[in-house]
Structure 1
Amino acid sequence: MRIPHDACVLVADGRKMLFFRNEGDANTPNLIVEDQAMQANPADRHQKTDAAGQAQSIRGGNFAQGGGSMDETDYHQQAEDRFAAEAAELLRKRALANEFEALIVVAPPKTLGEMRKHYHKTVSDRLTGELDKDLTGHPVDQIEKLISAA
């Protein structure tokens, strides 16, 4: 995937986002970090105190009669989904402020899917590429190579 000169590149996962600007050209990208944000999001087991609950039918009895167990809330995933929505909101603000004409978003599939739900039309119009990989822990030169090779 070619990264146009002056394009904004967002590399994110459910806990970290990095905004880059390509100061190079499409053939030899040179990504420079413009901004970054990180969210503390402990494992789900550290965010809850109780096990899943049980529901009973008003008639009494078991699941077949209307009762049953309730799904556990995954607080860790909820926090990651909120972070992805916040990343999409930052993209909207930057797009409306004309901070970029071309955008590439790199994120793991689940995060990318959550972000897509929140893309503003202006962001979608400027989106030139997406890559469904988790690159937040990679050095910048590897990010450049992996995006260019995609």
Structure 2
Amino acid sequence: MHLPKNAHVALVDGENFVVMRNGGAPLEPKLDRSEKPDLSASNYSAGVKHQDDAGQALGRTDLEELAHGAAAAAWLNAKAVAGEIDDILVIADPKTLGEMRRHYHTELEKRLVGEIAKTLTGEPTKRIEQIIADA
């Protein structure tokens, strides 16, 4: 994947959110930790489509995780609208990524250079860099 120099990389799952920056070349990313935003999950509209009893009983739906994904998208939206993010790669587990997409602002969509549907929070930086380069 071609990741522009200074592009932001958002690593998201149902509980964690870390933003990194690419200090390396577009085809050889070198990620530096930029920030770990403190989110308050308040958008529980995320779970409206997941209200079935069977899904919750079997553990397939966690409203807190979905609300966290919506909060991460809201944070990214605010940064994009403010012009603080030019290029962004979003890496999130498939369920969180799907929820985040529902909340993307058009300004964020314009700045999106890619998405990777994979859980990489907690992985070593070198592994994340390699997965981005191979994508």
Q: CA shift at 1:130, angstroms?
A: 0.4
> Unpaired segments of 5 or more residues in structure 1?
40-69
Contact 1:23–1:30 (8 Å) recurs in 2: yes
- Could you tell me how far apart the structure 2 residues matched to 1:100 and 1:107 are? 18
Per-residue Cα deviation, 1:94-137 (whole angstroms, up to 9, x for no partner): 11121121110001111100000000010011101000000002
Query: What does 1:75-114 correspond to in 2, within 5 Å?
Result: 77-114=62-99
Matched residue of 2:53: which SS?
A: coil
Q: CA shift at 1:88, angstroms?
A: 0.2
What is the aligned partner in structure 1 of residue 22 from structure 2? 22
- Could you tell me how far apart the structure 2 residues matched to 1:105 and 1:24 are? 17
RMSD across aligned positions (CA): 2.0
Q: CA shift at 1:72, angstroms?
A: 6.1
- Could you tell me how far apart the structure 2 residues matched to 1:117 and 1:14 are? 15
Distance 1:116 1:35, change over 3 A: same
Matched residue of 1:26: which SS?
A: coil
Aligned structure 1 segments of 4 or more residues deviating by more than 6 angstroms: none
Per-residue Cα deviation, 1:81-100 (whole angstroms, up to 9, x for no partner): 00000000010111112112
- Could you tell me how far apart the structure 2 residues matched to 1:98 and 1:30 are? 23
Normalising by structure 1, we get a TM-score of: 0.74
| Identity across matched positions, percent | 38
Q: Is 1:126 matched up with 2:119?
A: no
Q: CA shift at 1:2, angstroms?
A: 1.6
Normalising by structure 2, we get a TM-score of: 0.81
Give 1 or 2: higher helix fraction. Answer: 2
What is the aligned partner in structure 2 of residue 8 from structure 1? 8
Q: Is 1:71 matched up with 2:50?
A: no
Mean CA deviation greater in 92-101 or 112-121: 92-101
Contact 1:6–1:100 (8 Å) recurs in 2: no
Contact 2:10–2:90 (8 Å) recurs in 1: yes
Per-residue Cα deviation, 1:29-86 (whole angstroms, up to 9, x for no partner): 11111111578xxxxxxxxxxxxxxxxxxxxxxxxxxxxxx82683971000000000
- Could you tell me how far apart the structure 1 residues matched to 2:106 and 2:92 are? 19
Matched residue of 1:15: which SS?
A: coil
